[in-house]
Structures are given as structure tokens and as C-alpha cells.
Chains A and B, each alone.
Chain A
Amino acid sequence: MKKKLSFVLNDRKITLEIAAQEVLLEVLRDKLGVKSPKCGCDRGDCGTCTVLMNGKTVRSCIVLAVEADGQRLTTLEGLMKDGQMTPLQQSFLEHNSFQCGFCAPGVILAATELLERNPKPSGDEIKEAISGNLCRCTGYLPIVEAIANVNNALTPPGRERLGKKVRS
């Protein structure tokens, strides 16, 4: 039986009809063409399918699409504004944090959630926050360094996208 649902995806209202058993990750990728969430383990272990639901990271491979009804979703695609990266993304770029990049969307969203709650995290807090995001290339060091050295003086379009006021 099909269910009608609507949610906000990267500031765009989406309405679609799906079956109750459809998984959010597959709906995002295959039905909506949003390709930043990746399928790594498909069972909640690796974090590559991470999306933000109401500003909090969830693993879209273990969320039913119907659960998104009425919620606000943000994927990596929704962080940039007018082609401008968030300060966090710029830091990842400057630190050359990724190699293959498969883990990157999940890591960036996990770090975005962390910085929302805690703009100046310690090294341990950073490691804890991304501990559920597996990276098979980098050994994590350039990722942790990038998160620790975000230039907060830059305008953070990412924060606006999460519906919070920009702190000046």
C-alpha cells in the first residue's frame, strides 16, 4: 500500500508517494536523485549514508522513508549556499582531508552537527563525534585537524541552512 508523505529536503518541500517498506537512503538516491548519502554497510555501522533529520545525524540506511514525513532533512547538497562552502567544508578542503571521498558526506554532516552544539570541541570530542563514520583511506588525522581548525570568522551558510540564527 502506497503512503503519501511530505518533508522538507534542503529547504525544498517534497511530496511523494512511496511504499511503507522503502528505506530513506534508497528513496533519496534513487527517487530524488540526491547522491551524497552513500551506501557503505547498509546496516547502520559505517556512517556513509548520514543525513541530518531536524539538525541531528541519522543513518538513512536504517530509517524508513515514511518516518521522514513532516521532518526537515538536510544532506550535504543542502549545506552550500549560492555555491559557497561552509567554513567547515573549506577547512576540509584546506587540510586535504579526504582521499576517495566516500566517507566525506557523512563525516561533514557529523562534524556539522558537532559544531552546531559545540563550536570549540576538544580533540576527544571530535573523535567521539565522528567515531561512527568509518574512513578507509586517511587514518582520520587530516579529518580531525580540519574540524579542530575551522575558521569561525568566515560566514557560516551551513548554520543558516540548519534553521539556526547565525551567531555574530
Chain B
Amino acid sequence: MPILSEFEYFKPSSVREAVRLLSKHKKPAVLAGGTDLINNLKEEIDQPDAVIDIKGIKELSGITYKNGVLTIGAAVTFSELLDSRVIQSRFPVIAEVAKTVGSVGIRNRATMAGNICSAVACADSGPLLAAYEALILVRGSKGKRKVLAAKWFKGNKRTDIKKAELVTAIEIPLPARRHAGCYVKLGRYSGEDLAQASVLILALPGKQYRVALGAVSPVPVRASKIERLLNGQHLSDELIAKCQALIPGLISPITDIRATKEYRSHMCQVMFARGIRAAASRFSGNGPEYGVNLI
């Protein structure tokens, strides 16, 4: 299917230039991996007057780790996340999430920044960034700002981004000296992009946990209620059952062609139980390898 509407294409080499182009045009679109954008152009969901390709901007292409903060540039692909040493060693759950995004041919192009700018409810990066309390770095003509992941997602496909602003990076702080995590994703088959429900757990020292749920609400859900119940406690079957019982009250899943809301809600509870056990046992050093499918 050809793209019918015409636009100008730009490939700036600096953030400043990109921001200038964004403010100069009426309806600009930012192109990183294009895995969402090109489809939206074909379907005329987006009809921009300018497409601004950020892959020529060097400063957006790196993964760095400094002073306990991981910075992921906006042009970094999911394949690059998977291959990153520092992610494998310090944030293996980020690689676990990245591995579930589409398949190799998608991951070679798609970016985490693009994922959270498209901000579909089933975005894999949503629960991850919510649980890590990540910051989204944004640049506009008036300067920079940082937005907490919890404030970033405003609704299905809606974010805090303002006109003529560009996401430049995502900052993920190391939550503790030592931590483990687990991402459980329900899809139809591996290689398909879209989660029907997803659960992300972080296990921190002192039996502290963070829990975030994806694809079961317009925005990622940080399950603080569950965290309060879990924190400091021994992870017994009864405690897990109590947490599971809270899940339906925290989420608002929808029924669509991929799954019913009842199924999503039920699976969310099953996945929570498996995820929390896996995260806890990974924390104590004997859990399942990262990247294995738990459902």
C-alpha cells in the first residue's frame, strides 16, 4: 500500500536542529524506527507535513551508565538494548522486556522512546518504566524538562509531550545496590508484538517489591496497593493469593479481537503469581534464566 499523503523528509544531525524543524512545521511527525509511524502514514492516521528522522542525531544513539543511572538515547533500538553489556549485567529485566518486542526485524528498528511516544496501552516499555520510576527527557524550543514515567502516560496513545517537543532519552535509575526483576507477557504467539496483558515485577533488598501491570488499562498501572501488602513480608501462597484478589480492582481491561476483559483479568493474576515468584527467586540467585517464557 503506498503512502498517499505527501510530506517533506528531514534528517537533522542535532537535537537543536530537530527541535527547530518541529516548531517550524504545523504537523510534524518524528521518525525513529518507523514501525508504528509508517503504518500510521499508510492508514492516514497520521498526515504530517514533515517527517523528521532522528536517526542522524549522534547524541540520541547511545546507552550510558553513570552514577547509578542508565540513560537510553531516543534512537536506541530494542536490539541494541538486548545486546548491551551494562543492561545484561545490571538491568537484565530490560533485556527480558526487549526480547518480547515483536521479532528481530522489528527490534532492529523499533526504539523504546518510540514505544512510549506511540503509547498504546499494550506498549511493553510502559510497565517497565513505571516500575523503575524512569524519567523521560524532553527537549523543546524553551529548554529541557524531565517527566516521571507515571506522569508521562495520559491515556491510550496520549502522552505528556507538548507541541514541538522531542523525547531525547529515557533515564532509568538503579533502584538498589542489588535487584532482580521479571516480565511476564501474554501474547498470541511469540513474534507477535502485542501484549494482551503484562506484569512487571522488581524485587529489591529487604523483601521490597515493585509491581506494574500493562495492557489492562489505558496507561500502565503501578500496583502500589499490592506493593504495600507485599513489602517486608515472607512470600507465602496466602499472601500471593491476597495480592491476586486485589488485581481486578486495580485494572480496567477491555474486550477486543485479541482477548476478553475477563480473560485478561484472570491471566493478569496468574502472571502476577508466576512473576513474583520468579523475581523473588532471581533475587536470591536461583530463579529461572532471564528471557524464558513463564506462560
Q: A64-B51, A67-B34, A132-B102 are in contact. Are A58 and B7 (CB under 8 A)?
A: no
Q: Is A93 an interface residue (CB 8 A)?
A: no
Tell me, yes or no, whether A32 is within 8 Å of chain B by CB: no
Chain A minimum-CB-distance residue to B55: A67
Contacts of B105 in A (CB 8 A): 47, 50, 57-59, 110, 132-133
Q: Is B5 an interface residue (CB 8 A)?
A: yes
B38 in contact (CB, < 8 A): yes
> Across the interface, do B106 and A63 meet the contact criterion of CB distance under 8 Å?
no
How many chain B residues have a CB neighbour from A under 8 Å?
Answer: 33
B290 to chain A, nearest CB (A): 14
Complex-state Cα separation, A53 to B6, whole angstroms? 25
Chain A residue at minimal CB-CB distance from B37: A62
Q: Is there contact, CB below 8 Å, between A132 and B103? A: yes
Q: How many residues of A contact B (CB 8 A)?
A: 35
Closest chain B CB from A54 CB (angstroms): 9
Pick from B8, B34, B39, B103: contact of A47, CB under 8 Å: B103
Asked if B174 CB lies within 8 Å of chain A CBs, one says no
**Cβ of B171 to closest chain A Cβ, rounded Å:** 27
Residue with the greatest number of chain B CB neighbours at <10 A, chosen from A3, A19, A44, A59: A44
Q: What residues on B are CB-neighbors of A113 within 8 Å?
A: 104
Q: Is B35 an interface residue (CB 8 A)?
A: yes
Which of B9, B39, B103, B108 has a CB less than 8 Å from the CB of A43? B39
Which residues of A come within 8 Å of B, CB atoms?
1, 3, 19-23, 26, 42-45, 47, 50, 53, 56-59, 61-64, 66-67, 69, 110, 113-114, 127-129, 131-133
Instruction: Please give me the 3 A-B residue pairs with the lowest Cβ-Cβ distance, nearest first.
Output: A132-B103, A131-B191, A20-B9
